[in-house]
Structure 1
Amino acid sequence: MKKPLIKTLVCIGLLIGSHHFINAQEQESFQKLVKLPVREAAYDSYLALMRINIEQSRKEDGNISFTLFGKDGDYTVYLLERFKNKAAWEEHKKSVYARSTDAISPAATMHLSEETILKEIPEIPAADTEIVIPEENTKNIITWFTVQPTATTAFIEAMSKAIPKARETEENLGYNIYQNAEDPNKFIVIERWRNPEVYQNYLQSEYSKKLNQDVEGLLTKEAKLKREVLKNISE
């Protein structure tokens, strides 16, 4: 009699665990950063199509934000997509405008696009970014970090002290950190500032200098800090 009872209890436990896992997935936001090295000849038409995709995607209930970054004299762009959960992103991919962009992307980017799935860090959840018009003078920085496997907790702690202070700065438009969903030792920080002068003032702040000192000893020896200074070209 005991064996059937044990099997029943095990099945119930598995069902409960599965429910919690699915529920956690439904509640977890979904982020993706895509690097798109666009061919010069295809750049204008691709940008026009991408902007339609952005405009329509932002209207979706499941979308949090949809932002395209680029820079003068360079045809490589970065697309940051944020959705309330993965199901919302999968529903977005069924739309005509998303499918149209996906269809032209391989040819426009010479099959050289790179995708990175990102996840929020519970200690420093992502905050909404401010949209300003016009965007020409804003300062947008994407920084990639590779942290020593034993230093991820210390890295997150250092960031959790500095990021709230940066967000409190009047001219800060957004400051978010994400963890690579496939490699927990890799992080991406995306900063947005109203203009270059404000950003320079931030770099001179005591907490920014302290952050640089704290982070320096936590990165892998092989890692070279990668940073891109971009502009918002979503509109």
Structure 2
Amino acid sequence: MMTGLKSRAALLGAILASLTSQLPAEELALWVKVSLKPEIHERYIVAVQKNVEETRKEPSSPRFDFYQDTASPGVFHQFEVWKDQAALDDHLKQPYVKASWKVRDEGETAPKEVIKMAPYRATTTAKAPDGDLSGSQNVIVVFQPEEQLKEEFLSEFDKVIEGARKADGNLAFELYRTTDPAGKFVLFERWASPADYAKHLSTPYVAAFYKHFEALVENRVRHFGKDLSVK
């Protein structure tokens, strides 16, 4: 009898393992922040723009963006979305990636920061970069909701997501949950212009969210970036 139970348990385990292996891997998103000395900015921008150009040809890179922080020009951001960890691992072996690292290593003023994330939503809304985006408004916002209010935070923010994605001039509005380190949420926004972003901030759905803001979120950090993804 015991042997029969063990056999059925083993069979069930094998079936579950097989089903799990067939599930699609979760998308992996990265936010990489680099701080550099002024004298290597130009060379670094050229190297990373080449990296962006080649990376966007890779079949497993849904997204690879490059920004210079408008408030702190010595800070650069990469926002990446990958099909899975294997796709990222393959990307990191490429010569154009290593070429940008070589320039970066010459003038870092602080260790690079890498935040690993997963989509809060299963689908993304980012539109492929097209045309001149030099005038776009690109925003990265980091939220850390109080643990006991996290579900309420997400419920309130769902309304903001729904409204923003319908707004004129919105090109992307995506919320990610951090996995390493865990416990935070990162919002990526792309607007066609600063005017479109300002209009979004004055909408009723944003006002309603900010009404609850202080109670729901411990702190918030916002970064504005100039898109350097295209030469």
Q: Secondary structure at the match of 2:139?
A: strand
Name 2:118's counterpart in structure 1: 119
Within 5 Å, give how 1:135-174 maps onto structure 2.
Answer: 135-174=133-172
CA distance in 1, matches of 2:48, 2:123: 27
Structure 1 residue 167: Cα displacement: 1.2
Structure 1 residue 170: Cα displacement: 2.2
Task: Out of 3-12 and 29-38, give the one that drifted further.
Answer: 3-12
Name 2:204's counterpart in structure 1: 206
Name 1:234's counterpart in structure 2: 229
Task: Out of 9-18 and 225-234, give the one that drifted further.
Answer: 9-18
**TM-score by structure 2 length?**
0.89
In structure 1, list runs of 5 or more residues that go unmatched: none
Q: Secondary structure at the match of 2:62?
A: strand
Q: Secondary structure at the match of 1:88?
A: helix
In structure 2, list runs of 5 or more residues that go unmatched: none
Q: Is the 8 A contact 1:142 1:227 kept in 2?
A: yes
**TM-score by structure 1 length?**
0.88
Task: Out of 30-39 and 8-17, give the one that drifted further.
Answer: 8-17
Q: Is the 8 A contact 1:148 1:185 kept in 2?
A: no
Identity value in percent: 20
CA distance 1:150–1:15, change in 2 (3 Å):
farther
Q: Secondary structure at the match of 1:34?
A: strand
Structure with the larger strand share: 2
CA distance in 2, matches of 1:184, 1:218: 17
CA distance in 1, matches of 2:214, 2:130: 33
The answer to whether the aligner puts 1:8 opposite 2:7 as a matched pair is: yes
The answer to whether the aligner puts 1:50 opposite 2:48 as a matched pair is: yes
Deviation string 1:67-112 (CA, Å, 9 cap, x unpaired) is 0111356111000111122221122122221233334433332451
Deviation string 1:135-173 (CA, Å, 9 cap, x unpaired) is 222111111111111222222211212112111112111
Q: Is the 8 A contact 1:180 1:187 kept in 2?
A: yes
CA distance in 2, matches of 1:117, 1:75: 22
Deviation string 1:167-189 (CA, Å, 9 cap, x unpaired) is 11121111111000135430011
Taking only aligned residues, the RMSD between alpha carbons, in angstroms, comes to 2.1
Task: Out of 164-173 and 99-108, give the one that drifted further.
Answer: 99-108
